Structures are given as C-alpha cells and as structure tokens.
C-alpha cells in the first residue's frame, strides 16, 4: 500500500499518457473510420474495394504487430519523425498504429449504423434530387451516428484498454509503468495491480455509462 502512495505521481503521469493516447487515437480513428465507411458505401467499386481491403487486412492483424510495425518499421527504419524527443516520437507512432487499427472497427460500426436507417429515408433523399454525398452527409450519416453511439462507446473503451499495447514499443503508459513498479516493489505486487486495475475501471466505467446515456438521449425515435 505504501508503494502505491509513494509512487502515486508516477502512476498519475502514466494514466495521463494513457488518456492522451486514447483521446488522440480516438479522434483520428473517428475521422478515418467515417471516411472508410463512406468509401465502403460509395457508388465507386474501386473505393469500396479499397475500403474493404483496408478493413479486412487491419482487422485481422494483431494490434501488437501493427504497433511494432509503427515503432520499428516506420520509426526506426523509415525514420518517420514527429519530434526530436524520442519518447514523444514513439507516442505519436503508437497513436498512428492505434488509430489505424481502431478506424477499421469504427468503420464497421458506422456501416452497421447506416443499416439501421430506414430505406425510405435514403429513397426520399434521392427522390428530391440529393446526390450521394449530400444524401450521406445530410440524411444518412446523422441518423447512423445516433444509432451507433453505444457501439462507438464500446470501441472507445476497447481503445482505452488497447493503448496498453503501446508498451510493445516502450511507451511508458499505464501497463509499462505497472511492470516497472512490479520490478521496483516486488513485495507489493497485489496492491500495485489493484491500483492499476482500479485506474482502468475509473477510466472505462464512466465512459460506458456516459455513452449509454448519450445513446438513449440521441436515439432516433422511429
């Protein structure tokens, strides 16, 4: 218990990095995922094909591999650089990996959301002469988003937990910090574990509650 109190600032810092990784990757993934979903329902077979290949490739690749590729492949070999500070650079590389991976799931969720929009809506939009882009932007996507608030919340929670995998390329977020604390305080494994587990509960439970509340509020009444 003492270890937990002594190391509290370190733990707080680790979780702060976890939160930043989650928010940054979540934002990028939401944008990228929406674009992918639009591609997958577009009139152009090429776009649909590109979207489908992306989703199926990324979804069937382990996230650890994606992150390792971003860190060692993009970072070390191809020398993609965001910052002169090594740790900041690896943070951004892991954000790329996390967003690229999460975007595939966001895309599938939104696509499922598009399925919930009654066909009549899209037909009416077409009938008054809206183009595919207008139809999607003005009629279908706004309703689809409201339908998938809860699944998007699930994806955000999964992302929060997945940020731990950035440990694979040495980003000192919560899990790697926990490992370091285990090594430093071998006698306090249980309290440290409980502390970190609690930390993740504190992050994920409110997210779940918030999103299920939002999904009820934003639900389209049909």
Partner 1 sequence: MTAVTGERRPARRRVQGSDPMNVLYDVPGPRARIRNNVLTVLVILAVLFAVYVMVTKLGEKKQLDPALWTPFLRGDVWVNLIVPGLLNTLAAAAVASLIAVPFGFVFGIARLSEHAVIRLAAGAVVEFFRAIPLLIMIFAVMFGGSAIFGLTVTPFTAVVVGLVLYNGSVLAEIVRAGILAVPRGQGEAALAIGLRKSQVMWMILLPQAVTAMMPAIVAQLVVLLKDTALGFIVSFEDLLNAGARVLPSNFNNIIPSVIVIAIVYIIINLAVGAVAVWLERRSRRSRKTAAQPIARPGSPSAVEAIAQPIVHPDSSDAVEGHPKRPTM
> Quick one: 24 or 167, whose CB is closer to partner 1?
167
Which of 17, 21, 34, 69 forms a contact with partner 1 (CB under 8 A)?
Answer: 69
**Number of neighbours of residue 195 by Cβ within 10 angstroms:** 20
**Number of neighbours of residue 222 by Cβ within 10 angstroms:** 9
Determine if 86 is a binding residue for partner 1 (CB under 8 A). no
Determine if 147 is a binding residue for partner 1 (CB under 8 A). yes
| Token code pair at residue 179 | 């490992």
SS in 3 state form for 135-176? HHHHHHHHHHHHHCHHHHHHHHHHHHHHHHHHHHHCCCCHHH
Binding mask 170-189 for partner 1 (x = CB under 8 A): ----xx--xx--xx--xx-x
Determine if 87 is a binding residue for partner 1 (CB under 8 A). no
- The stretch among 8-16, 19-27, 83-91, 167-175 that binds partner 1 (CB under 8 A) is 167-175
CB of 167 to partner 1, least distance (A): 6
Please state at what angle helix 8-40 crosses helix 174-184, rounded to 10 degrees. 150
Which of 111, 143, 145, 171 forms a contact with partner 1 (CB under 8 A)?
Answer: 111
Angle (CA) 59 62 68, round 5°? 125
- The stretch among 8-16, 22-30, 77-85, 88-96 that binds partner 1 (CB under 8 A) is 77-85
- The stretch among 4-12, 19-27, 81-89, 204-212 that binds partner 1 (CB under 8 A) is 204-212
DSSP 41: T
Determine if 112 is a binding residue for partner 1 (CB under 8 A). yes
Cα separation of 164 and 50, whole Å?
29
Cα separation of 194 and 40, whole Å?
43
> Quick one: 20 or 161, whose CB is closer to partner 1?
161
- Chain positions 1 to 60 lying near partner 1, rule: CB under 8 A, are 40-41, 43-48, 50, 56-57, 59-60
Instruction: Judge whether 70 and 169 are in contact, CB under 8 Å.
Output: yes
- Chain positions 122 to 141 lying near partner 1, rule: CB under 8 A, are 122-123, 126, 131-132, 135-136, 140
């Amino acid at each position: 218990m003492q270890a937990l109190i002594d190391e509290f600032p370190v733990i707080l810092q680790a979780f702060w990095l976890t939160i930043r990784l989650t928010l940054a990757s979540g934002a990028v993934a939401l944008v990228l995922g929406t674009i992918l979903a639009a591609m997958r329902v577009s009139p152009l077979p090429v776009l649909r094909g590109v979207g489908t290949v992306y989703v199926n490739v990324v979804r069937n690749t382990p996230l650890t591999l994606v992150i390792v590729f971003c860190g060692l492949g993009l970072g070390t070999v191809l020398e993609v650089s965001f910052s002169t500070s090594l740790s900041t650079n690896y943070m951004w590389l892991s954000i790329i990996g996390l967003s690229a991976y999460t975007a595939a799931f966001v895309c599938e969720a939104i696509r499922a959301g598009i399925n919930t929009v009654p066909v009549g809506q899209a037909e009416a939009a077409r009938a008054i002469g809206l183009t595919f882009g207008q139809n999607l932007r003005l009629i279908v996507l706004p309703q689809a988003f409201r339908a998938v608030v809860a699944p998007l919340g699930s994806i955000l929670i999964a992302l929060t937990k997945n940020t731990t995998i950035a440990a694979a390329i040495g980003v000192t977020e919560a899990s790697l910090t926990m490992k370091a604390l285990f090594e430093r305080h071998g006698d306090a494994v249980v309290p440290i574990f409980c502390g970190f587990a609690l930390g993740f509960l504190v992050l994920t439970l409110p997210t779940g509650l918030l999103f299920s509340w939002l999904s009820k509020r934003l639900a389209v009444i049909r």
